Structure 1
């Protein structure tokens, strides 16, 4: 099985990733093709242009043209980036960001945040699928831990009181995040970490171990747009204070965190968090992260056709 990855982000590991592991499970031997002119059995394309110039970044162009979370049905991949000849047998689009799939004749299937199967042409894939070890045990370098599906199905044990209220890890400025943090600071101290505040993140679990909560807000509110934030809060030994739309996902245990979207207003949510007593906190903390392991069959079916 020869596979090529195109229009991915610069740090994407083409040799070691969820898709290569999946193809090895399905086909055995997998060869990753890097030459753009060579023929391959499967080409997986994402949302970033191959140019280093950030002005040519496809995702940036999308966000200039449409509001977050709105359908991206009419925007095509720039033709100048397409091969002169069809040098792949099958092409799959991977929507790693919250943008809708560009429906084109030369795309055979979609793997995205959309939960609609589109009659079998689309498979739902949340970011945390790759980082959680639900396919194979996975070493998550972001938190320095190796995880597996069995661990995420087990309840946690609470061993003692935590001395600090909440922490937040922020990589880039976001109005919604800062608003939530400022409101939470009315009921407890929230420490912010990240390069933008001069506090580099070396090891999340080590930093977060003394905190009861981790503030983790998604970049967008779209059904199914769930990244690694909930998972990392769980692996960092905290209870997530979350903002995100799980849609119809039934795998993540919603009893293990508080979601701002479950409340009518920010103030109502803040009041709820204020009134979480020790018993209620321990009950949330000890919840397993997953109710069940997501069925990966739809993803496999889209990959191989």
Structure 2
């Protein structure tokens, strides 16, 4: 079977939204100088990008003249069980624009804001030319700023002020205190990751398997190598996922084990998924591989992780640490995965960052 090694390739005009003129235009509309914004568009109408921004700005001005107090959000390309009427991105937009009545629509042509993602093939974008377009990327890929105006991504780089950092792990936390799950995922109270996890909270520790568990859908070579090495040194590792044994309740399964191998699929600054959060919430000791410690989450021995990016571990030392943790009679007390102050700053910054980029709509 042939192997396809995909890569991102951007054509020469794919980042027109990062040119000086485009960034100056963005500053004009954010400041509310719509007249100069219109003039900028009219001077550039020979290109599709400026034709689209002109249509978008005319829609905004019509809304203001008509006194509209609602804004409609359209979603396309999201994951299969995504609910367009009840999801975290819609809740985030509501917090970012509290002066509008925000709701979703399934009619692309009436959208004021369109949110696209990368999970369901190609998009038909012809009906959303008048809307502000947001690109949501939960994968370790870079955004494009020709068809999109704002991005929500795993990448902390601002890209001329167009990108807002929204790492995947943040989707696991109930930031808006709704107290119930979304259709596509459970969310966990902020206090569960910002409070110390004491040994007595893991009352089932004695009954847990003295094994490691790996749950994943990507046979990434580093994690497969580590699993092989651990097994070769006498440590049992059970593997689950779409490529082996599918799992319905991931957290429930993790709570039956003492150690979780929770490597990220790839390592790039800022790319931190749900994996360390799930390991922490399940009370597992995590064998992890990421630079999460350089962002918001604390993934070191104090929080119950052996993070291979922080320690130059030989396989022998990794085996020794894993066996010591696995055989512990009482689990160690663990520091918060993220401090309350950092968590509050993160969600406030996410809301304000998005507001600054879309409030003019």
Q: Which TM-score bucket, shorter chain as reference? A: 0.7 to 0.9
Match of 1:72 in 2: none
Q: Is the counterpart of residue 298 in structure 1 residue 345 in structure 2? A: no
Match of 2:85 among 15, 28, 40: 15
Residue 172 of structure 2 contacts residue 187 of structure 2 at CA under 8 Å; is this kept in 1?
Answer: no
Match of 1:287 in 2: 335
- CA deviation vs aligned residue, 1:226-263 (integer Å, no higher than 9, x gap): 11111111122212111123273134454311112223
Match of 1:218 among 256, 260, 264: 264
Q: Is the counterpart of residue 118 in structure 1 residue 156 in structure 2? A: no
Taking the aligned partners of 1:144 and 1:17, their CA distance within structure 2 comes to: 9
Q: Is the counterpart of residue 45 in structure 1 residue 87 in structure 2? A: no
1:163–1:6: structure 2 CA closer, same or farther, 3 Å change rule?
closer
Residue 143 of structure 2 contacts residue 151 of structure 2 at CA under 8 Å; is this kept in 1?
Answer: yes
| Superposition TM-score, scaled by structure 2 size | 0.66
Deviation at 1:152, TM superposition (A): 1.4
Taking the aligned partners of 1:142 and 1:263, their CA distance within structure 2 comes to: 38
Match of 1:189 in 2: 236
Within 5 A, what are the aligned runs for 1:57-136? Answer: 57=121, 81-83=124-126, 86-88=129-131, 90-104=132-146, 106-136=147-177
Higher strand content, 1 or 2 = 1
Residue 167 of structure 1 contacts residue 208 of structure 1 at CA under 8 Å; is this kept in 2?
Answer: yes
Question: Bigger radius of gyration, 1 or 2?
Answer: 2
Residue 263 of structure 2 contacts residue 289 of structure 2 at CA under 8 Å; is this kept in 1?
Answer: yes
Q: What SS does structure 2 have at the residue aligned with 1:183?
A: helix
Match of 1:242 in 2: 288
Match of 1:24 in 2: 94
Higher helix content, 1 or 2 = 2
Taking the aligned partners of 1:232 and 1:139, their CA distance within structure 2 comes to: 17
Deviation at 1:155, TM superposition (A): 1.0
Deviation at 1:225, TM superposition (A): 0.8
Taking the aligned partners of 1:206 and 1:91, their CA distance within structure 2 comes to: 38
- CA deviation vs aligned residue, 1:17-59 (integer Å, no higher than 9, x gap): 11111223333532211122x222211122245xxxxxxx36x
Match of 1:165 among 189, 211, 222: 211
Residue 168 of structure 1 contacts residue 192 of structure 1 at CA under 8 Å; is this kept in 2?
Answer: yes
Q: What SS does structure 2 have at the residue aligned with 1:222?
A: coil
Taking the aligned partners of 2:128 and 2:74, their CA distance within structure 1 comes to: 15
Deviation at 1:120, TM superposition (A): 2.6
